[in-house]
């Protein structure tokens, strides 16, 4: 596609529920990143994929968060037993090769609200 | 601790005026520094990327500077336009891994 897309754009769920957030990166980009952005703050790194593998997952806050990229393109961020503190905008970005100087292209984000 | 600080937190200027946003970081080991523009409700858009050896980079009316010795960067916007109203985020990446440290952003409002 022309850019990074994320679905859904908004997700409202109840505390304790399971949610999945989807990211479609730019075609041909091997690197994919997930970030979380709270209101009024800069994005916070969660996880980075190079191809199908998670090359750096040091930003995942706890084991309730998990992400996959089984075919090296689309990625899904999964959150189990959601808590109110998980409410944020979840941003996805992709870059061509994941080099340190590659430009990252961001999607519009998914706004998650946990009631 | 790896941190990125930005100032001011918010800024209001009149259309046509120039402004400078500041970024200080303690991230180590340093790989590169990026400035992003983020419109409300949208994902960030890359403006500039600078490595250790670069001390200035321009992108149209945006000019970024980097002083790796003092660990400071600035983003200068020339002849501001209404469309420049957005948050500007400074991001520093470390040499190893893909761990990017984002600053909190500066919220710029350009008024007619």
| pLDDT (tens digit per residue) in A48-57 | 999 999 988 9
Q: pLDDT of B13-71, one tens digit each?
A: 999 999 999 999 998 888 899 999 999 989 999 999 999 889 999 999 999 999 999 99
DSSP class of A105 = E
Q: Measured between alpha carbons, how far is A43 from A49 in angstroms, rounded to an integer? A: 17
Which residue is closest to A42 within chain B, CA to CA?
B104
Please report the pLDDT score of residue A73 as a whole number. Answer: 95
Query: What is the pLDDT at residue A77?
Result: 98
Contact between A109 and B4 using a beta-carbon 8 Å cutoff: no
Asked if A91 and A109 touch (Cβ cutoff 8 Å), the reply is: yes
Identify all chain B residues contacting A93, using CB atoms and an 8 Å cutoff. 43
Residues of chain B in contact with residue A24, where contact means CB-CB under 8 angstroms, are none
- pLDDT at residue number A49: 95
pLDDT computed for residue B98 by the predictor: 62
Q: What is the pLDDT of residue B55?
A: 93
Average pLDDT over residues A30-47: 92
For residue A55, the tally of other CB atoms under 10 A from its CB is 14
Least Cα distance to B96 among B44, B27, B47 occurs for B27
pLDDT at A83: 97
pLDDT at residue A1 tops 60: no
Q: Which residue has the tokens 């336009």?
A: B81
| Candidates B31, B99, B104; nearest CB to A56 | B99
Examine the pLDDT at B6 and tell me if it is beyond 80.
yes
Buried b (16+ CB within 10 A) or exposed e, B63-86: bbbbebeebebbbebeebeeebbb
Check A103 against B49: CB less than 8 A apart: yes
Chain B residues with CB-CB distance to A41 below 8 A = 104-105
Cβ-Cβ contacts under 8 Å for B89 (sequence gap 6 or more): A42, A43, B6, B35, B36, B37, B38, B44, B102, B103, B104, B105
Give the burial string for B31-52 (b: 16+ CB within 10 Å, else e): bbbbbbbbeeeebbebbbbbee
**pLDDT tens for residues A9-29?**
999 999 999 999 999 999 999
What are the chain A neighbours of B41 within 8 Å (beta carbons)? 108-109
Residues A73-111: tens digit of each pLDDT:
999 999 999 999 999 999 999 999 888 778 899 999 999
């Amino acid at each position: 596609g022309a850019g990074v897309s994320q679905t859904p754009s908004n997700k409202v769920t109840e505390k304790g529920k399971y949610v999945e957030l989807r990211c479609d990166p730019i075609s041909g980009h091997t690197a994919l990143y997930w970030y979380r952005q709270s209101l009024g703050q800069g994005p916070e790194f969660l996880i980075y994929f190079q191809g199908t593998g998670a090359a750096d997952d040091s930003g995942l806050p706890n084991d309730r968060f998990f992400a996959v990229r089984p075919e090296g393109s689309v990625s899904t961020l999964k959150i189990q037993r959601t808590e109110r503190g998980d409410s944020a905008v979840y941003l996805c970005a992709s870059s061509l090769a994941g080099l340190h100087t590659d430009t990252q292209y961001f999607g519009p984000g998914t706004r998650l609200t946990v009631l | 601790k790896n941190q990125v600080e930005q100032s001011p937190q918010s800024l209001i200027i009149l259309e046509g005026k120039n402004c400078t946003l500041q970024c200080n970081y303690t991230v180590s080991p340093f790989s590169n520094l990026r400035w992003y523009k983020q419109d409300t409700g949208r994902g960030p858009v890359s403006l500039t990327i600078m490595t250790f050896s670069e001390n200035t980079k321009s992108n149209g009316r945006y000019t970024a500077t980097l002083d790796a010795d003092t660990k400071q960067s600035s983003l200068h916007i020339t002849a501001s336009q209404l469309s420049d109203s957005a948050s500007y985020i400074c991001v520093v990446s470390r040499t190893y891994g893909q761990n990017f440290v984002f600053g909190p952003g500066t919220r710029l409002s350009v008024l007619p």
